[in-house]
Chain A
Amino acid sequence: MSIEPHDAVERVWREQGAKLWRSLVAFTADPDVATDAMAEAFAQALGRGDAVRDHDRWIWRASFRIAAGELKARSRRSGEMPTLSYQMPEPVADLVHALASLSPNQRAAAVLHEYADLSTRDVARILGCSQATVRVHLAQARKRLRPLLEETGD
């Protein structure tokens, strides 16, 4: 029995929605951007029906790319830089603040691997680069994050 496309999309939401949204918050430092990007990605997945074959990977890729596009738009509008004024628990705010010091690629790789628990192979597929490139991003990200998180940890 085949699975309807909408069922597949709903399954991704049910099984991975929370992790995806929190990953996007870590990537963007902005829950609104995370919500907007994720809603758009899911809406497009619903609209594309069976044209999407691998819903899991497609929705993760789309969400991160849409979020990156929104960050671009914001950066062009003066006075609309992301801020940490949202109500976040302090450990989350510290983490997001540390992540903000990374390059976009390092940040995306770190979030997808360290939080979303994706393998370097899956991270490479989402970011559209090779596994070795992902490992470079991860090594740089860890090197940068470790001292920053030690300052705020414990």
Chain B
Amino acid sequence: MTDIHDRFRSLDDLDVPDVYARARTLGPKELQEPPASAARRVGVILLATVVAAAGFGLLLRARGTDDRAPAATAATPTATATASVAPTTSDGLLAFAAQLRGSTTGLVIAVMRSDGTGFRQLTGLPADHQADPQIARFSFASDDSPSFSPDGRTIAFVRRYTEGINSLCMIDLDGSNFRVVKRDAQMGEIAWSPDGRTIAFYSEQDGGIHVVDVDGTNERVLWQRTGGPNQDSPSWSPDSSRIYYASGDVWVANADGSGSRVLADLPRHVGWVALSPDGSAIAFSEQESDGNSGAIWLMDADGSNVRRVTDATSGNWYTVTWSPDGSRLLIEDDRGTAVFMDPDGTSTGPLTPPDGWSVSGPIAWSVQPA
């Protein structure tokens, strides 16, 4: 088994030139590429890396030792397949970012019933790519962070063209009606409010939590990060009046930004928070400081009765999602392994996407529309 971490240690054999001496000889006029803090500038620079990736592709072909990666194309093939998964009956629909093995394109949004049937690729197809002019500009798109509308008929997601440049997009569950709702959205994870009116999101602009109306207008800052950990994974209360989020600990605040407080002061870093559908319990992931291991925990919504769900050594679990009826959890590790679990910690089997597909990033779980 290759230990990737160990393989990186070979870099320590490289002799390092005296870069600092050179830096001291450089005058301001010689500087060509000032680092920018504005997201637009970052995007322009990192757009370069997408273009440069094509150069690396040429490099690989020139060396002639890797012929497995197909040429980059804007869209990956459509897939309709059946996955293997433990539950025998569906208790809802899952949406997640997926990638076809060997693909050099970005992630696409796919849906699948919780019983493993009905896998469908929704984005990364000609229809949605042609409807998004930003793809022609950047020649790349990667879709992630899906969130269902309250009726389960529409999925909001974030489309990333390059680091720092992304859009809030929506698509109906039947694959129609793709639209870009907000450009230059600077969004991380998103959460559609239960009342259907707003979307809360982690802002890549300031590391805080923002909300925006579902039509992409009226963005406002709820909590601006002023130091300390980023504020991650917003999760709405059932009545849309409060938002729970991770910021080192488990936090809660009113949806207008007032009344923020720590619900539970935990000894380790909390990286993910998910409120149960009925609002009675909170599932969260607790991360070791090195980011290499994580566990899933539960507590009551008032911060009491904290109990462990996963074993400390069972994996690096970092996201958790509730089933629509609150009876089950779907937890995911940092390698894309997703496992169904009862709240008492009993595993009920893995979620396995169809052959050739892998799951990446947070999974949304919704009722299945009639």
Chain A contacts to B: CB under 8 angstroms: 10, 13, 17-18, 21-23, 25-26, 29, 31, 35, 37-44, 46-47, 58, 61-62, 65-66, 68-76, 81-84, 88-89, 91-92, 94-95, 97, 100-101, 103-105, 108, 110-111, 113-115, 119-121, 124-125, 127-133, 135-136, 138-140, 142-143, 145-146, 148-150, 153
Contact = CB atoms under 8 A, between A and B. Distances in A.
Q: Pick from A26, A73, A105, A150 the residue with the most CB of B within 10 Å.
A: A105
Contacts, number: 241
A72 B51 CA distance: 6
Interface residues of B, number: 84
B33 A66 contact: yes
Nearest to A83: B59
B143 to A, nearest CB: 11
Q: Pick from B10, B36, B49, B290 the residue with the most CB of A within 10 Å.
A: B49
Interface stretch (B123-131, B176-184, B225-233, B259-267): B225-233
Interface string B251-292: 000000000000000000101100000000000000101110
Contact of B16 (A18, A68, A121): A18
B55 A17 contact: no
A95 B8 contact: yes
Contacts of A41: 23, 35
Given A43-B28, A148-B66, 10 more contacts: A13-B23, A43-B24, A65-B45, A68-B45, A68-B52, A91-B13, A95-B11, A115-B11, A131-B232, A140-B99
Q: Pick from A44, A61, A62 the residue with the most CB of B within 10 Å.
A: A44
Contacts of A138: 334
Given A104-B46, A150-B2, A82 B7 contact: no
Interface string B7-26: 11111111011011011101
B contact face: mostly helix, strand, loop, or mixed? mixed
A25 to B, nearest CB: 6
A69 B45 contact: yes
Contacts of A135: 291, 318, 334, 361
B325 to A, nearest CB: 25
Nearest to B290: A119
Contact of A129 (B26, B31, B35, B163): B163
A124 B230 contact: yes
A139 to B, nearest CB: 5
Contacts of B7: 91, 95, 145, 149, 153
Nearest to A22: B11
Contacts of A35: 17, 19, 22
Given A119-B290, A131-B232, A68 B49 contact: yes
Contacts of B361: 132-133, 135-136
B89 interface: no
Interface string B328-342: 000000111000000
